[in-house]
Amino acid sequence: MKNFDIKKRIPGSELSALNRIVRAFHKNNYECFLIGGSVRDLIMNRKCSDYDFATDAPPEVIMKLFRRTVPTGIKHGTVTVLTDGMAVEVTTYRADGKYIDGRRPESVAFSKSLKEDVLRRDFTINGLAYDLINDEVIDYVNGIDDIEREIIRTIGEPVSRFSEDGLRTYRACRFASNLGFAIEENTFRAITETLDVAKKVSAERIRDELKKILETEKPSVGFEFLRKSGLLKQVLPELDRCYGVMQNKFHIYDIYYHSLYSCDAAPADKPLIRLAALLHDIGKAATKRMGNNGDYTFYNHEVTGAKITRAIMKRLKFSNDDIGKVNNLVINHMFHYTEEWTDGAVRRFMRKVGVENLDDIFLLRLADRKGNGSRNGLPEPIKRLKKRIDKIIEEENAISLKDLDINGNIVMERYGLKPGPVIGKILNELLEAVLDDPEKNEREILLALADQIIERIQG
């Protein structure tokens, strides 16, 4: 068996903790192997985010062997061992029973055999075990070959493996995107043949896989696998629909590829901006019209797009915070800055987007440009807009209602008003005045202005 210098790839402090765990099992006559994604990542010399072990010891024994444990997935035989500042998952060998709902095994049977445990896993590259004590990789499924050939292949017959658990089809696309691997021909065909099983996977699990694709270096790779297999049409029909929809003379790509390349160009560590980039033009297919000049227009596509974005994210059970954030980026992505903007206009823009979202809207604009084939960064005028914004933030001028040197209570008291829409109207008018001239943000001046507004409303 090949030696991959795996030990040298594990940081020293972690290695000694892992060795201690394995020895505790051995001392009690149990087996314990590093397994799955961690072995794959170590062989590929990629950063290994978490270590998983497999053992023939039953869960209650695992919990007795270590002082600090958490029964994280006890029904499936998973116990988390806390040691030396690490949290390591240890799972009892399993031989999964029959699957009934295309998602979860009907029953979990523990097994005494590592091989049996490997055979229930999803892909050959995820089916490797590593014996830390003897420094040996155990490969029952030709996983090493597939890592070297850069191929995702199911362990066993793909249609039946995907029929057991539809989530695996999304995982195949995700691993292909993350590792830059191809999906083996039969495995890929089987995704298309089992689409009705994938349909049954819960929205939350699909969302988590999509998020993971958004965090890969090139999400476009993952989305292309989703599209070509038919999964995209099922899970994001709105995006699938953009495929082949050409734009106008300003664009070299169709809407679909422009969306994918914009997504690639957004920062990998900001999945919500990646998602906003993927969806920013999602309203274009529905708003495409032939303009007077003989070319296509997409008026108000950002408004339609924000609505579609909201519906997609709701369907996929994203949190309200995430929905609000992405929706805001999509609806505001079309700003057209010119040097003629007054300071008031800049402040209004800041208020509309939200000061906390300004960096993100510029990152989105940059991604949008790159996704259109531009190799340049932001154009000069936008860089100047950023400078003007920075200056305004530095001077701490009023931007939102809560920054006004006055509030609803003061207004109500002064005019003997009860809470109601008129208070909001007054405050918003005051804010407009302050946005145009920040010097007006002083209580005395605002009250004088409020007097005029009241007179006008009540007059």
Q: What's the min distance (Å) between Cβ of 121 and ligand ATP?
A: 3
- Select the binding partner of residue 121 from Mg ion, ligand ATP, none (C-beta < 5 to 8 A, by kind): ligand ATP
Q: CA-CA distances (angstroms) from residue 123 to 6, 169, 411?
A: 20, 11, 66
Q: What's the min distance (Å) between Cβ of 40 and ligand ATP?
A: 6
Q: Considering only CA atoms, which of 105, 109, 72, 78 is closest in space to residue 94?
A: 109
Q: Considering only CA atoms, which of 356, 211, 354 is closest in space to residue 274?
A: 211
Candidates 29-37, 71-79, 124-132, 397-405: pick the segment binding Mg ion (CB under 5 A): 29-37
User: Based on CB atoms, which residue is closest to Mg ion, 178 or 397?
Assistant: 178
Q: CA-CA distances (angstroms) from residue 97 to 55, 75, 120, 121?
A: 18, 13, 10, 13
Output the six-digit token pair for 153. Answer: 């292949």
Q: CA-CA distances (angstroms) from residue 452 to 128, 325, 421, 439?
A: 77, 37, 17, 18
Pairing of strands 128-131, 136-139: antiparallel
Candidates 35-43, 90-98, 248-256, 375-383: pick the segment binding Mg ion (CB under 5 A): 35-43
- Select the binding partner of residue 126 from ligand ATP, Mg ion, none (C-beta < 5 to 8 A, by kind): ligand ATP
Contact set for Mg ion, span 356-375 (CB under 5 A)? none
Q: What's the min distance (Å) between Cβ of 37 and Mg ion?
A: 4
- Select the binding partner of residue 222 from ligand ATP, Mg ion, none (C-beta < 5 to 8 A, by kind): none
Closest residue to Mg ion, Cβ-based?
37
Output the six-digit token pair for 121. Answer: 């896993």
User: Based on CB atoms, which residue is closest to Mg ion, 92 or 259?
Assistant: 92
User: Based on CB atoms, which residue is closest to Mg ion, 37 or 127?
Assistant: 37
- Select the binding partner of residue 389 from ligand ATP, Mg ion, none (C-beta < 5 to 8 A, by kind): none
Alpha carbon distance 342, 359 (integer Å): 20
User: Based on CB atoms, which residue is closest to ligand ATP, 174 or 347?
Assistant: 174
Could you say which of 35, 37, 93, 306 contacts Mg ion (CB under 5 A)?
A: 37
Alpha carbon distance 387, 129 (integer Å): 54
Local structure of residue 23 (DSSP, 8 states): H
Helix (H) or strand (E) holding 449: helix 443-458
Residue type, 450: A
Give exposure, 190-213, as e/b (b: 16+ Cβ within 10 Å).
Answer: bbebbbebbeebeeeebbbbbbbb
User: Based on CB atoms, which residue is closest to Mg ion, 25 or 51?
Assistant: 51
User: Based on CB atoms, which residue is closest to Mg ion, 37 or 305?
Assistant: 37
Alpha carbon distance 81, 266 (integer Å): 37
Which residues make up the interface to ligand ATP (CB under 6 A)?
36-37, 52, 121-122, 126, 165, 167-168
Binding status of residue 127 toward Mg ion by CB under 5 A: no
Q: CA-CA distances (angstroms) from residue 81 to 1, 58, 78, 88, 411?
A: 29, 14, 10, 5, 59
Q: What's the min distance (Å) between Cβ of 133 and ligand ATP?
A: 21
Output the six-digit token pair for 39. Answer: 């072995």
User: Based on CB atoms, which residue is closest to ligand ATP, 122 or 360?
Assistant: 122
Q: What's the min distance (Å) between Cβ of 265 and ligand ATP?
A: 24
- Select the binding partner of residue 224 from Mg ion, ligand ATP, none (C-beta < 5 to 8 A, by kind): none
- Select the binding partner of residue 122 from ligand ATP, Mg ion, none (C-beta < 5 to 8 A, by kind): ligand ATP
Q: What's the min distance (Å) between Cβ of 146 and ligand ATP?
A: 13
Alpha carbon distance 251, 278 (integer Å): 16
Q: What's the min distance (Å) between Cβ of 174 and ligand ATP?
A: 8
Tell me the H-state helices in 266-403: 271-279, 284-287, 301-315, 320-331, 343-353, 358-370, 380-395
User: Based on CB atoms, which residue is closest to ligand ATP, 53 or 318?
Assistant: 53
Q: What's the min distance (Å) between Cβ of 172 and ligand ATP?
A: 10
Q: Considering only CA atoms, which of 119, 124, 212 is closest in space to residue 170?
A: 212
User: Based on CB atoms, which residue is closest to Mg ion, 37 or 102?
Assistant: 37
Q: What's the min distance (Å) between Cβ of 128 and ligand ATP?
A: 9
Interface with Mg ion: number of residues (CB under 5 A): 1
Residues that bind Mg ion (CB under 5 A): 37
